[in-house]
Amino acid sequence: RDELPEGEEEEEEELELSRAGFRGATSSPPQKLSASPGDPPGTPPLAPVLQLLRSQLQEKDALLRHLESDWERSRAQREREERLLVTAWYNM
């Protein structure tokens, strides 16, 4: 792995951990669903499936927020670096 500045290396590790956690959550084996007492016979239960899908959606939303904040930080850093380069060039 290439050498990264101190802060970026930590962010990269956090991102890898969040990706690993996300993959683990979506690769869980299917659960056997039992019909709830109020359902008519032969009707598949939906509540556990909906809960699983909602939790996966929340995990994806959290990952998107994390990636968006990383992108914003990277953009701001790049803009600061560009301003410094322009300033240094004018001062030469």
**What's the average model confidence in pLDDT over 10-37?**
53
Residue 87 burial (C-beta neighbours within 10 Å; 0-12, 13-18, 19+)? exposed
Q: How confident is the model at residue 88 (pLDDT cuts 50, 70, 90)?
A: very high
Q: How confident is the model at residue 20 (pLDDT cuts 50, 70, 90)?
A: low
DSSP string, 49-92: HHHHHHHHHHHHHHHHHHHHHHHHHHHHHHHHHHHHHHHHHHH-
pLDDT at 46: 79
What is the per-residue pLDDT across 28-71, written as a single tens digit (0 to 9) for each? 555 555 555 565 666 667 788 999 999 999 999 999 999 999 99
Q: Where are the domains of the chain?
A: 47-91
- HSE at residue 14, side-chain half, CA atoms within 13 A, is 11
What is the per-residue pLDDT across 65-85, written as a single tens digit (0 to 9) for each? 999 999 999 999 999 999 999
pLDDT at 1: 45
